[in-house]
Structures are given as C-alpha cells and as structure tokens.
A and B are shown apart, each in its own frame.
Chain A
Amino acid sequence: MIKNIYSFILKRYVVITPLLLVLIVAQREEYSQLTTSGTFGSAIRLAIPIMLAGLGGLFSEKTGVVNIGLEGMMIMGTWFGAWGGFTYGAWQGVFIGMLGGALFGFIHAIATVSFQVDHIVSGVAINILAAGVARFLNVISFEDIAYASSTASPRITGEIGKMTVPFLAGGPINDEETFNLFGNIENLDIFLISDFAGFILGFLSNISYLTIFALAIVPFSLFILWHTPIGLQMRSVGEYPTGSESLGVNVYLMKYIGVTISGALSGLAGAYLVIGGTGIYLEGQTGGRGFIGLASMLFGNYKPFGILMGSGLFGFADALQLRSPQAVHGLLIVISIFLFVLVLKTLFEKKYTQSLISLLFSGAFLIWFLNSTTIPNQFVYFTPHITTLIVLSFANQRIKLPEKIGVPYKKGELT
C-alpha cells in the first residue's frame, strides 16, 4: 500500500509537486487568489476548449494521423457555432459548430489518408484555409445584419443554462437558497482543506451545462478508445496498419473515423469559445488554443485524463493572469522550488548537465521573486504559455507515441 503511494508520487511528481507548492504558497495573504473557487471556476472555463482540442488530437493521432489542423478546425467551430447559434439557438449552434469542425476533419482525412499528402502539409493548409473560409462565410452570411462586421458575427440567440448544485454548493431548490457546504468550508480558511473545498466548488457552482457536456467527453473518449472494438481497431491502425489490415481491419475507414471525430471535437472546442463565452464570433478568437491543445495531448501522454490535467494547468495559469496579476507573482517561487526539486532528481540520476541548467533557472526565478513584489503586465499575459512550456519540457521524457504516426499507409501493401 505504502509502496503503491510512493510509486504513484514518483510517477506523477510533475503534477503533484507544483500542486503542493501552490497550496503552500496560497496560504500567504497576498497570494490567496491562487486557490479560490472563483479562480478554479474560471480555470475550468478556460481549460475546456484546450481540453477538447487535445481530445480531438488524441482521436486523430491514435489512428496515426498527425493533426496540426486542430486550430483550423477550431476556427470552423467558432464560426459555424456562431452562425448556428444566431440562426437556430444555442444548443443547435453547438452541434452545427461540431459539424463544421467535422467537415474540415473530413477534408484532412481525404488528403492524408486517401491521397497520402504529408500530414503536416495538409494540417498547415487546413489552418490557412479555415481562416479564409471563416471570414468569407462571415461576410456573405451577415452582410445586412446589424452589429455584424467582416470580422465579427451578431450575438447568438438563446442561452445555455447554468446550474449550482444544491446543498453542496448552495444552489437553489424552488428558488429557495440551500446550505452551501463547500462554500462554508472555503470561508473557514483551514490549511489545505479550504483550498480543496475551493477546488471542488469551482466544479459545482455556477457551472454551464455545456461545460458538463464537455467534461463528460473525457470518460467517454476513454471508453470508446480503450473499451470498444472500434476503439481497439482505431488504435491498432496507428500502431501497425499492415498487421491490422491482415486481420481484416478496414484501415482507411478507421483513420477516416478518427480524423473526423477529431474535427468534431475541435469544432466543439471552437463552439464552446463562442457559445460558452463571448456570445459572438470574432476573428482570431481561437488564439492558438488548437496548438496548445496539441501540447496538452503530449503532456497527457495520449491519455484522456492526462489531457484534462494538462489543459487544466493551462487554464489555471490563464485564469490567474486574468483575475489576479498579484497572485502570478507567487508562481515565481513555485517554479523556482519545482526546478530545485528537479535539480535534486537529476543529480540523483547523475544527469549533471540537466541538473546544472535546472539549477541556473531555479536561481534566476528565486532572484526575480525576491527582488520584486509584482510582475510587469507584459509578462503576466505570457504566464499561461511559459507555464505550459516549462511543464512540457520536463514532462516530455516518457511520451509513448503511436508507432506509425505520420506514416502514410497504402492499402494492400502486405509483405
């Protein structure tokens, strides 16, 4: 039992150490925003699009197709989501957004699977094409409509409901307020327990049904890919298509399904930005989240819950910089100590160069932390990206790529 816990900590130290450090740093008054339910709530909202794009990447790459077109498929999701939302209503918009993304996923599949175009080339083409197509569609669709321009759509109609769980988070029953269990715990300010309550409250309070729908896709993906025949076949074509073909698996079909699902999930990610966020389509709204989704997929080592964690990390950093630039300053010491843990680890493994580099960075962050009280605004905006980068560079050592990823497969090449 103790041995299990010990090995679990060793395996997950990249996640566990920073988490502990954040909790400890959050005890200081000026950094208390680090662990409030408000921060976690917006972290979830910011994480969802990245998580969906990451899951999209998962479905594509597990079938062996590299998908850097996630960003483009996401753009289609934003526009189709906004158009559907404006024309038919919010939920309809969500599904039309998914269809828009799926369409571009399908195009990527045609190019890479049927015509054996290089996956990167096709992905880049998708990204460029999507940006142009979105603007084109926006101009011709909303030409005569008030409050729309060439780069923005009108506001969607209808709304996706929100809920707060009664008793646990004080949600109302029949318009009467109920007891707020976790809210009260959070306000008690007990070390760790209150921080944890804040974390739970982030999930229970004022949460959109669309968010619940998106979060449900995580276990659903796990089930589809690892516990159904179609999932097994999809994963097998990413590993060894020749072998799969010889066992009667329709390799092309599996790849088409994987890449199209990938597009649909990216489309959902885009639609979430519009319908769960701004309420209108804006050009450039995706802001590279498709690529960060790809990074979260790598961080999560091709596992749905790993992707959830990776995108959560990014969402957390993003939420912090939005809500409390002051708290971001606390992250400096977290990074510094985390790097120092790595110094010890690499020293133990006798990797002296890596150890030295980590030590230098650790020292630099420490000096920065001690000699300042705030972080310049320019850097604050940059926090989510630098956090992702740092974590990625230390987490990428054991990534298990699908064996035949990016390798075009021609039918009937049995040896």
Chain B
Amino acid sequence: MNTAIKTLNISKSYPGVQANSNVSVQIQESTIHAIVGENGAGKSTLMKILYGMTKPDEGEIEIFDQNASMSSPKDAINFGIGMVHQHFMLAKNLTVLENVILGIDRPSFKNLGLKKYKKLIEEVMSLYSLDIDLDMFVEELSVGEKQRVEIIKVLFRGAKILILDEPTAVLVPQEVKELFNNLNNLKQNGVTIIFISHKLDEVIEIADDISVMRGGKLIDTVKNENVSKTEVAEMMIGKSLPIPPPRSTETKQNKILDLKNITSKTVDGRKFFTDVSFNVFGSEILGIAGVEGNGQKEVIESIIGIDNIESGEIYFNGEKINDKTTRERLDSGISFIPEDRQLQAMIMDMNLTNNVIIGRQNIKKYKSKFATVKTKNAINESENIISLFDVKTPGTNTLATALSGGNQQKFVVGRELEDDPSLLIASQPTRGIDIGAQALIWEKLRESRDNGLGVLLISADLEELIGLSDRIVVFYQGSLVTELSSDNVSPEDLGGYMTGLKK
C-alpha cells in the first residue's frame, strides 16, 4: 500500500498560540483516515497547511512520495488534494453544473460547452456512484446534496485525496448515512479520504486509521480495529487533572433560573434540544459540558429569548419569562457573555465608552430626561471597569478593535458584571485568550459567585469547567444526559458522557 500524504515535523505558530508543533503523520492511499481532537487541538491548522491555505513555519510535506511545497489551494489541487469545507463554497443562484465547472476554463469569450461538461461530470458521478441533478439551482438543494456537489466539484478537478472538514456537523442522521456510503464507495475506487471530526461515534464507524491531536501535537496514530472508543476519548481529552479551588461560601437555596422540560423549535426537520430541565441556584456556578453542536448554544439562546421554544417553561427568579422579549429579560437581571466577543459582544469600530452603553441605553444610569445618553456616566463606568479588571488600554476613547483579545474579553466580563445581575450566562468566557486574562476572569467569576450570583457556564475547556463549576450537566445530542458534582469528576468521565460512551 502506498503512502498518500506524509508530513515531517510540521510546526506552525500564530501570535500567542502554538497551533501545530512537530506534527508527523502518514496517511495511506485508499483509506479513510480520521483526524480527531477537541476544538483548538490544531486539526484545522493542519488541514489548512495540507490544502495550501497557510504555510507551515517548519516541516515538510510529501504527497505520493513527491516533495510538495504549496502556497495556495491551487497548488494543492494540482497535487491532487481537494477540500470540502464545512461552510460550502457554492454560489446559490448558479446551477449545480455551473458551480462544478466554475474556474476550470480560462475567462475567455468562447462558448462554455455546457453539454460537453455535463457528459464529463456524469461520467465522474457514475464512476463514484454519486447522484445529483446537474440543472438544479444550488439554492434548491438540501444540505446533504450541497455537500455532494462539493465532493463532485473536487473529484471533477482530479482530486485523489479528499479532505472533509467536520462533514457531519451540518447533516441530519439519514444524510450522514448516505455520506458514509458515498465515502466507502470513493475509498473502493482509490480515493484517499481525510476525515476531520470530533464525533467519536462516527469516526469509529467510518475510519480505517485514527490520528488524535491535542494541544497542537499529534498524540498518536492508531488502527481503528486495534482501539476502543474509550481509549480514543482518553487520548483526545488528556489526563491532567485540574486543581479544584477551595470555596468558603455555600450555595444558596433560591432557584435563580429554573428550566422545566423545554424543547426547541423544529428547524429543517430536527430539534436542537428536547425536554431539557435544570436549575441554577444563587451563589452557584452550573457548568454545561458537551461537544459543540449538541444543543447547548440553542438552550442559552432560548433562555435569553433570541430563539423561541416550542414547549416547556422558563422561570427566572420565580417569574415565568417565556413570553418576555430579550430586552425585558436582560433588563430584569440576566447578563450574557456571548461566545464570540468580536461578533456578538462588542462593536469593534466603537470606543469602549459606547461599548459600555450598548444594550443598556434604557437603564436610568445612562438615560437622561430628554432621552439623550448620559455619556459622562458611561465614561465613569468604563474607567471603573478598566481599573477593576485591569484592562490594558490607552483610555476609554480607544476603539474596541485596538485592544488585544484578552483585554476585550476582560472588558466584556466587567461590563456584564457591573450592574449586579442575578444570573450570568457565560459562554466560552476564556476562549483564545492569554493565561493572565484567563486567571483574572476566573477569579472575578468566583468572587461574584461568592456574592450571590448564579452563573451558567458553557465551556469547551473541560479543565476550566471542572475547576470553576459547582455542578456540571452534560449535553449529548440535544438531551441532558447526566448531572455530576464537580468534586469527584475527571475529564475522562466527562469526555465519556460528552461523546455518548457513558449514559
């Protein structure tokens, strides 16, 4: 059996992050090779390097025993590597046929020859047993069909190695089954498939070889038949134990947030979560664990009223808030730290003072009699946050975009804690920031917790989750599978529940 791709000591670092360090992996021809790892483990960076989108700082790549140095996706295509992105690169208002042949011809004024291309593409489709109507507009296709178009697109360009980035994340179960059928067909016809995923069930079902990444390093490459799911999960999550923080205060008995059997709306034939019930007490941090895409995000959006739920009840401080608007919910004492600070938490082209007012413009502190904004109070408040949370900035007049990620995040956390909320929903509060900022945010969260705040913490960082939370609930496929006390839980246990191994 030949080697399709061989990498030698690939390293890549971004400012502040070592995304890949000394990754050496061998991928055999005509196999399905899964690359698994948690978010931020370095899978995507490795794929970008293999697809020529970024250059490695160090290391070499060999493709079919040929030394390959690639500087653009075009080079990668010439080496026979094609990529199916998680977000499809398709133009909605063009037909399938047009999408497949786009960019193959030089931009000339001769006739496109749609008939000729149609025949050629149909040959490729029958060779690999893929089926789609070439004359449909992409807009009219289902998600699974769009993915098939992407696969046909790269195969038609002569790709012999397919990289699939989280291909199942957007699919419903039936479509996943169909995709796996297609992938097995491709494999039998000599195509090599690199399958990036963090869903262990699927990886175990489809892959021949599995490479596990963690913290930018390749932990190991194993044969699927020689390994159990638990072993892979352990490699993925690691074994280092967090240091549990001592806490001197006690959880109170008042339920701040109380969810009773809530079920999400049905979108595209599937529900994001079903029949979820849990509560958050005063002076408590409740952690939510779960692999991304298992419904946690949607539950949060339902609590703050961005999404409506189909059934169930949401109580906040004893009051039913199902029918309240997001504005009313936030004004009544819910604070929210969104997972993406640059898209959701701040407006990057506004200064810090304005970023303090956003969403609070109706609060008495910032609203004068004449419905103008009391800028002075906002300036005071942002100065306050800057000193309390140690935000490194020249002043309150600085644009948010000029701050580093850690300082932006500290400012956001400070803003959300300022008005003594009774519930804080913190989604990935320390993702992608430096250790100093992380420690400060942890400390502030604990401090507020001790003062009576109820916190709902969502984090992909299991050590953070175990270290901060008092209790942890685990989401798997839209349901709450278990509730654990953080005193006696290990990351492996959590990983087991998160990947559906334990029930």
Give A residues with C-beta under 8 Å from B: 224, 227-233, 235-236, 239-240, 242-244, 246-250, 253-254, 400, 402-403, 414-415
Contacts and interface: CB of A to CB of B under 8 A. Distances in A.
Interface of B: 53, 73-74, 85, 87, 89-94, 98, 101-112, 114
8 contacts: A231-B112, A232-B94, A235-B93, A244-B103, A249-B107, A402-B93, A414-B73, A415-B85
Given A229-B105, A244-B102, A247-B103, A236 B112 contact: no
A250 B91 contact: no
Contacts of B114: 227
Given A232-B98, A236-B102, A243 B109 contact: no
6 closest A-B pairs by CB: A247-B103, A239-B91, A243-B89, A229-B105, A230-B107, A240-B91
Contacts of B93: 235, 239, 400, 402-403
Contacts of A242: 89
A232 to B, nearest CB: 6
B102 A228 contact: no
B97 to A, nearest CB: 10
B150 to A, nearest CB: 10
A237 to B, nearest CB: 9
A227 B97 CA distance: 12
Given A228-B112, A230-B109, A235 B74 contact: no
Given A236-B94, A400-B93, A415 B87 contact: yes
Nearest to B107: A230
A239 B103 CA distance: 14
Contact of B108 (A228, A236, A254, A400): A228
B106 A240 contact: no
A240 B98 contact: no
Nearest to B108: A229
Nearest to B157: A247
A247 B469 CA distance: 46
B102 A247 contact: yes
Q: Which of A242, A243, A414 has the most CB of B within 10 A?
A: A243
Nearest to A233: B107
B120 to A, nearest CB: 15
Given A232-B98, A248-B103, A249-B102, A243 B108 contact: no
A174 to B, nearest CB: 39
Nearest to B100: A247
A233 B91 contact: no
B30 to A, nearest CB: 26
B107 A254 contact: yes
B358 to A, nearest CB: 23
A216 to B, nearest CB: 16
Q: Which of B85, B107, B109 has the most CB of A within 10 A?
A: B107
B349 to A, nearest CB: 14
A414 B48 CA distance: 10
A257 to B, nearest CB: 8
Contacts of B89: 240, 242-243, 246-247
Contacts of A244: 91, 102-103
Given A235-B94, A239-B91, A239-B94, A224 B101 contact: no
A239 B92 CA distance: 7
A228 B103 contact: no
B51 to A, nearest CB: 10
Contact of B109 (A228, A254, A400): A228
